Amino acid sequence: MYFAVAGMMDLFEYLHYGLSLVLIFIGGKMLASHYYTVPTHVALAVVLGLLVISVVASVAFPNKQKA
């Protein structure tokens, strides 16, 4: 998934922030899995939400230097 979305980083300015937060969340989920189990639908919702927020932020606040 990372490489599929990473190819779109040129189109969306803030996508790399969203991807880094996804990787941090998944890493934290893996570290905490021994103590707490995050349901799959919650984890997928968080990942999707982070990606959608980063894409919407990129569309709402475009980088004016590229134009």
Residue-wise pLDDT for 30-49, tens only, equals 999 999 999 999 999 999 99
Residues 6+ apart with CB under 8 A from 63: 13
Amino acid symbol at 18: G
CB 25 within 8 A of CB 47: yes
- If pLDDT is split at 50, 70 and 90, which confidence band does 54 have? very high
- pTM greater than 0.95: no
Tell me the mean pLDDT in the region 7-27.
Answer: 87
Overall domain count for the chain: 1
Question: For residue 51, how many other CB atoms are within 10 A of its CB?
Answer: 19
Q: Which two tokens stand for residue 38?
A: 């995050």
**Does 66 reside within a domain?**
no
Question: In which domain, by residue range, is 14 found?
Answer: 2-60
Instruction: Please give the DSSP secondary-structure letter assigned to residue 63.
Output: -
pLDDT for position 49: 97
Least confident range of 1-10, 20-29, 42-51: 1-10
**Does 50 reside within a domain?**
yes
